[in-house]
Chains A and B, each alone.
Chain A
Amino acid sequence: MDTDKILKELQQDVAGLKESSQNKLSMVVFSGDMDKLLASFIIASGAAAMGMDVVMFFTFWGTPALRDKKKKAGGKDIFGKMFGVMLPKGPSKVKLSKMHMAGAGTAMMKYLMKKKNVSSLEDMIALAGELGVRIYICELSMGLMGFSHDEMIDYPGLEFVGVAKFLEEAGASRIQLFI
């Protein structure tokens, strides 16, 4: 038996496995709900602390949560303006998925979070940036909802991408989540 040949094949297989499964977490953040966004960022920063490479892809209702409430974007058509007004403008404006109760529930949750020293969504985004969590925003969602790049938050290395970029990252990740 040709042990050298077998050994070489095994080494190639191991190298391939290492390549296909890096210590990486890829997350699709589809939801624009405050609770789900908070959970996403807690998992992301926790994973970064565990030494993982972390990538978050924001798409659909997750996209407006990354708008900057201080920034203004002009030149929108009627649909863009409508989405702009109807969707939350940034992380401080998102609502709970349950018990929002016309704002009372979300306000109560924010009060409790402060009282129990749980970081706000804004703080969690800043922490993720500090930890090197990468954020990608779906270009299709941006275009569909009429958002412009200029109205998104300042975040280190923020990129606007398509689905292939997500699949490339997810394909090489040990964990993939859809939130």
Chain B
Amino acid sequence: MSEEIKANVTMDLKGLACPLPVVRVSQQVKKMKIGEILEAETTDPGAHADFPAWAKSTGNEIVKIDKGASSTKFYIKKLK
């Protein structure tokens, strides 16, 4: 059974460079409710290290990572 993750909000962060992907995600997550999921699509190679580090530090969870050919979608669940 494949788990279907439904995002409450989607963000297009393609083309943005460090530190903007993490900054924009943090600003968006602040506006969301606990338990909601944010889908953030980025082309920043640094995001693979940065998004998990951000989630760990802020107490949120990355529930799924979808790696595409040119971009990656991170599904972030707001826990705090």
Contacts and interface: CB of A to CB of B under 8 A. Distances in A.
B17 interface: yes
B19 A49 contact: yes
Interface string B1-43: 0000000000000011111101101110000000000000000
A116 B17 contact: yes
B24 to A, nearest CB: 8
Interface in A117-131: 117-119, 127, 131
A46 B15 contact: no
Which residue of B18, B23, B58 has the most chain A CB atoms within 10 A of its CB atom? Answer: B23
A118 B17 contact: yes
Contact of B54 (A42, A50, A131): A50
A51 interface: yes
Which residue of B18, B19, B20 has the most chain A CB atoms within 10 A of its CB atom? Answer: B19
A161 interface: no
A45 interface: yes
A117 B57 contact: no
B25 A49 contact: yes
B15 to A, nearest CB: 5
A69 B43 CA distance: 35
A48 interface: yes
